[in-house]
Copies of this chain bind each other. A is one copy, B any other.
Amino acid sequence: MFQSKNIFVRWMNKLSPFQIILLFYLLAIILSTLLLSLPFAYREGMNPAFIDILFVAVSAISVTGLTPISIAETFNVVGYILLALILQLGAVGIMALGTFIWLILGKKIGFRERRLIMADQNQTQLAGMVRLVKQIFLVLFVIEFISFVILGIYYLKYFPVQEAFLHGFFSTISAISNGGFDITGDSLIPYRHDYFFQFHTIILIILGAIGFPVLIEVKEYLFAKKQKRQFFRFSLFTKLTTITFFILIIVGTIFIYLFDVTHFFAGKSWHETFFYAFFQSVTTRSAGLSTMDVSQLTEANHLFMSFLMFIGASPSSAGGGIRTTTFALVIIFIATYARGENDIHLFGREIHRQDLVKAVIVTLLAVMIVYITLIVLVVIEPFHVTELFFEITSAFGTVGLSLGITGDLTTISKIILMILMFIGRVGIVTVLFMFHSNKQKRNYRFPKERIIIG
């Protein structure tokens, strides 16, 4: 017994932080699948296939929201609550949750544990990791509780008391976790004319997708004493990700409108048009909830929204994709090169070369993965290539929007989409470094030689 535990510990110690994170995510998927397989989580007579339960579990842990089965019709209240808990787990990151449990148990957080959290939350400094995790939970729970109360009361307009608070609970977690699942059976389409509810949901989505470090910095700024506040400096990361995030939402709203100005938006009032375009733009950041059947939009709009979903949300958030900072750095990189300059800088700070390299690698690999997946799905599936592309970018961006083909996909395609959701959630670099060995670096260098490019 002791011997075998020893072996287990030694085996764990051999793993890199990236391998441990992947291992924990896999365990979380297994646990979620088991939870969602409990017979009392289903409505009477419902007996979904194992692959579909597994798909929902992966979709929930990766807070994507794609599902081949109707959540509303398949699960009962117990199922809804289990699903909400899994979304919550997925959103805060398993490592963060693990730390939280360690903290509660009074266990000292060692250097090794800190490194794990650092990799999971994409942080580059060890200091303040534990504080970060504590703050993530504090901020999250406070926001969730306030939203739960507001929505629960507001939903009395639509439902009896118990149901109102159940919907308030699920809506809150689905939105702030960017999980994107619904228990209405029709996403947020029933609330397409309820602008208060939509606005509330947009706030929750943004809070979940803009990145926990941003929330914590904003909190620190707001709670700082007056004289301290004027010296407060937001980090480069917070500035870059926030600006990119909101530019994407604004540009998204404008183009979603323009691509359908003579189609879906024809004859709609200005406020309907605005809220449709705005909500659907916000949801492509990562949420996946929608106030309309997005398959009604034009094909150009589907391709544009696929691009938005491919970028995804901020790093260290509940969202996926290549992430806002990656996209921003790539654009800045190209612009700097076009101007013939070398050093890449913004807001009076120079960007580290290894960050730039990472951004470029992530983008190039993501393009390849998406394209290869597309070709494979085109071989397997009878659906239109744009429907498949939309589904793929939705899975990779852990967004969860769909043109309605998820349920009709073959098992192989479902497995491929699960892998994409997983990669989208944990990040390409984490997956890449899964195979990483700490082998000896070369001490000598090769002579350089020029090469002709493009």
Contacts and interface: CB of A to CB of B under 8 A. Distances in A.
Interface of A: 122-125, 211, 213, 235-237, 240-241, 259, 298-300, 303-304, 307, 315-316, 321-323, 325-326, 329-330, 333-334, 337-341, 343, 345, 348-352, 355, 357-365, 367, 371, 374-375, 378-379, 385-386, 427-429, 432-433, 435-439, 441-442, 445-454
Contacts of A333: 361, 364
B451 A329 contact: yes
B259 A435 contact: no
Given A299-B385, A303-B371, A355-B453, 4 more contacts: A123-B452, A236-B450, A337-B361, A348-B446
Contacts of A433: 338, 340
B450 A124 contact: yes
A330 to B, nearest CB: 6
B300 A352 contact: no
Contact of A449 (B322, B350, B357): B350
A323 B351 CA distance: 29
Contact of A451 (B351, B375, B442, B446): B351
Nearest to A380: B300
Contacts of A374: 303
Contacts of A321: 454
Of A349, A360, A442, chain B has the most CB atoms within 10 Å of the CB of A360
Given A349-B448, A375-B304, A446-B345, A362 B124 contact: no
Contact of A453 (B122, B235, B304, B438): B122
A363 B362 contact: no
Contacts of A439: 340
Nearest to A371: B307
Contact of A237 (B237, B379, B442, B451): B451
Nearest to A344: B446
A452 B364 contact: no
Contact of A432 (B123, B125, B338, B362): B338
A451 to B, nearest CB: 5
23 contacts: A122-B454, A235-B449, A241-B452, A300-B378, A315-B452, A315-B453, A323-B453, A325-B452, A325-B453, A326-B454, A340-B433, A341-B441, A345-B446, A348-B446, A349-B446, A349-B447, A350-B447, A350-B448, A352-B449, A352-B451, A358-B453, A359-B454, A427-B454
A454 B315 contact: yes
B122 A343 contact: no
Given A300-B375, A343-B446, A364-B330, A454 B358 contact: yes
Contacts of A348: 446-447
A335 B297 CA distance: 39
Contacts of A316: 452
B452 A122 contact: yes
A350 B439 CA distance: 20
Nearest to A374: B303
A124 B452 CA distance: 7
A322 to B, nearest CB: 5
A213 B337 CA distance: 27
Contacts of A359: 453-454
B303 A385 contact: yes
A454 B428 contact: yes
Contacts of A357: 337
Contacts of A259: 379
Of A351, A379, A386, A435, chain B has the most CB atoms within 10 Å of the CB of A379
B343 A445 contact: yes
Contacts of A375: 300, 303-304, 307
Nearest to A340: B436
A360 B357 CA distance: 10
A447 B240 CA distance: 16
Of A386, A447, A453, chain B has the most CB atoms within 10 Å of the CB of A453
B451 A355 contact: yes
